[in-house]
Structure 1
Amino acid sequence: MHSTDTVIMKDGKALPMQAWLPDSTEPDSIVLGLHGFNDHSSAFSGAGAWLSEQGIALYSYDQRGFGRNPDAGHWPGDATLVQDATCILHQLRALWPQKPLFLFGESMGGAIALCLLTQTEKIHVDGAILSAPAVWSRASMPRTYRAFLFIMNRLFPKKTLNTRTSRIRPSDNPDTLAYWKNDPFVIRDVRIDALHGVTALMDKAWSVCPTATTPLLWLHGKHDPVIPLKAVQAAMCVMPAQSCKIVVYPEGWHLLFRDTCRADVLRDIAHWIKNVA
């Protein structure tokens, strides 16, 4: 069962939300999906529909600065993104007090999940799925990229870069690429200050990796051109071994649970959730 609504934040801000719940029974587990940079909650439509058939409810919302929000394209700050996710987790915990609660972050959403799990304000989360999490530290980025971003953010923070002609392919699935190209709520003119903001978020997420003690399922694609596997292997190495399971898909790209290998990815996610729950 798919539904749409809004969710209210502590400051009164209403964010668009979608939910995918089992049709005839109560869910066994609850998952909060955090979408990636320039994307929105519909990124989880396929995963939500499939997981709901496995008895798992998935909620996802358009984060501030993205999707259907009127401020789409403006970077809200990583602290605000983490606070919003924390607020919604509290609401889901109140709505489903007896159900296991999980985070499911894709790319930027994975970075937000890591920052949330290691923040001072604690909320009980049974586990988190990190799909190609954005943990590419600035130290491992090319100097030319860092220099360009630093200078442009100082001089022209509101300037936008057109991503329509980018040669980077985030997926090997033609349907996913068509969504990325044509969906009206996917941001394609990206502000420099937003790029700078998400880069700082990646740096922060990388730095907190050693302190993550919540059970984690880390998923990555060998062909990922957005968050290259080589760039995040250092983060994988410092994750606490007892709490983190890492799976690398030989045929996977960046948008793993929307790639052509998505059936394997979604089965692995459902199996892991049921084992942890």
Structure 2
Amino acid sequence: MADGTRLPVERWLPDGDPEAVLIGLHGFNDYAHAFAMPGRWFAQHGMALYAYDQRGFGRTEHAGLWPGTQALVADLRTAVRLIRARHRDTPIYLLGASMGGAVILAADGRGGLAGVDGTVLAAPAVWALSEMPFYQRAALWLSVHTVPWMRLSGAGLDRLPSDNIPMLRRFSQDPLVIGESRVDAIYGLTRLMGEALAAAEALRQPTLALYGRRDEIVPPGPIEKLWRRMAGRHTRALYDTGWHMMLRDLHAPKIWADIRAWIAQGGRGPLPSGADARAEAALDNGGIDPLPRPERIRAGVQ
């Protein structure tokens, strides 16, 4: 990076020249290997995917410490420049999962992203402080100003991020995934999410914003606000089978195919699955109606 920091990179490349290049930005407490499943599929279908451990996560130095939005945005711009130098004549799209989507939105809001042809936001983290209940905002503010070093986990919250249970087991056992977050890192994430939501009205590149009706991590309200603020040439997509880790769900191949089709069409719909029409219908009919957890998962059956 510009300051000499080294960020580990994973890549999945097709045989021959790629028809398009994706740069993957992982979610909070995750790292680049989050894109292994879609990366292999995209490579088999003629597209390259590069993903790097964002600063403060995975195999980077000082993992677990919040690096700040400015550093995350600067790293993204450097990554785009370096990968653009390798693929000068190939379309480049950003693929952000959860927090990765928020970093993309913040970068666009802070002056744009040179060298990028479009962006894909998979369950973007836009649950800003302003969207949270008062008691959550107050508790977070008090904690970050008194015990910023305190670590919290999601244990006991009963929030399931995917229906792909074998993947979740591997995820929970991966030593590079951060299991407990510092309070100041959570606070930094919420500030990033607020900036990301505010930036939606000025999106410069064509954007595909994906969300699943089974997402138990980011509630539908902030996503609806994001979608309604996205003016111009953008595509919204809603999946009945989509969870928060939608790029690694059991039905993820349907989403991968939609992303590939959208890119092949130059950042435009329609999508093969019809998820774009479903999103527009939801907005026209009162908003996103979340779906309950399926009985087979509530019973602990894969």
Cα separation, 2, equivalents of 1:175 and 1:99: 35
Q: How does 1:184-223 map to 2 (within 5 A)?
A: 184-223=175-214
CA drift of 1:68 comes to 1.0
The root-mean-square deviation of aligned C-alpha atoms, in Å, is 1.2
Secondary structure (helix, strand or coil) at the match of 1:117 reads: helix
Secondary structure (helix, strand or coil) at the match of 1:14 reads: coil
Tell me the equivalent position of 2:235.
Answer: 245
Counterpart residue identity of residue 179, structure 2: R
Tell me the equivalent position of 1:176.
Answer: 167
CA drift of 1:153 comes to 0.1
User: 1:184-216 deviations in whole A, cap 9, x for unaligned?
Assistant: 111011100000000000000000100002101
Structure number having the greater strand percentage: 1
Say whether 1:264 aligns with 2:257: no
Secondary structure (helix, strand or coil) at the match of 1:80 reads: helix
Quickly say closer, same or farther: Cα 1:272–1:121, change in 2 above 3 A: closer
Say whether 1:14 aligns with 2:6: yes
Give every structure 1 segment of 4 or more consecutive aligned residues whose post-TM-superposition deviation is greater than 6 Å.
none
Secondary structure (helix, strand or coil) at the match of 1:27 reads: coil
Tell me the equivalent position of 1:161.
Answer: 152
Quickly say closer, same or farther: Cα 1:218–1:155, change in 2 above 3 A: same
Say whether 1:135 aligns with 2:118: no
Identity of aligned residues (%): 38
Secondary structure (helix, strand or coil) at the match of 1:155 reads: coil
The TM-score normalised by the length of structure 2 is: 0.86
Cα separation, 2, equivalents of 1:10 and 1:238: 33
Counterpart residue identity of residue 276, structure 1: G
Tell me the equivalent position of 1:78.
Answer: 69
User: 1:142-167 deviations in whole A, cap 9, x for unaligned?
Assistant: 11111110000000001101334442
Cα separation, 2, equivalents of 1:117 and 1:140: 21
Say whether 1:255 aligns with 2:245: yes
User: 1:207-258 deviations in whole A, cap 9, x for unaligned?
Assistant: 0100002101110011111111123211211111x32101110111101111
CA drift of 1:116 comes to 1.5
Say whether 1:227 aligns with 2:218: yes
Quickly say closer, same or farther: Cα 1:19–1:134, change in 2 above 3 A: same
Kept in 2: contact 1:140–1:231 (CA 8 A): yes
User: 1:25-62 deviations in whole A, cap 9, x for unaligned?
Assistant: 11111110000000000000001000011110000000
Gaps of 5+ in 1: 1-8
Say whether 1:56 aligns with 2:47: yes
CA drift of 1:119 comes to 2.1
Number of aligned positions between the proteins: 267
Counterpart residue identity of residue 262, structure 1: A
Tell me the equivalent position of 1:69.
Answer: 60
Kept in 1: contact 2:20–2:90 (CA 8 A): yes
Kept in 1: contact 2:112–2:204 (CA 8 A): no
CA drift of 1:177 comes to 1.3
Kept in 2: contact 1:163–1:190 (CA 8 A): no
Gaps of 5+ in 2: 268-302
The TM-score normalised by the length of structure 1 is: 0.94
Tell me the equivalent position of 2:111.
Answer: 120
Counterpart residue identity of residue 57, structure 1: A
Secondary structure (helix, strand or coil) at the match of 1:219 reads: strand
Cα separation, 2, equivalents of 1:124 and 1:117: 12
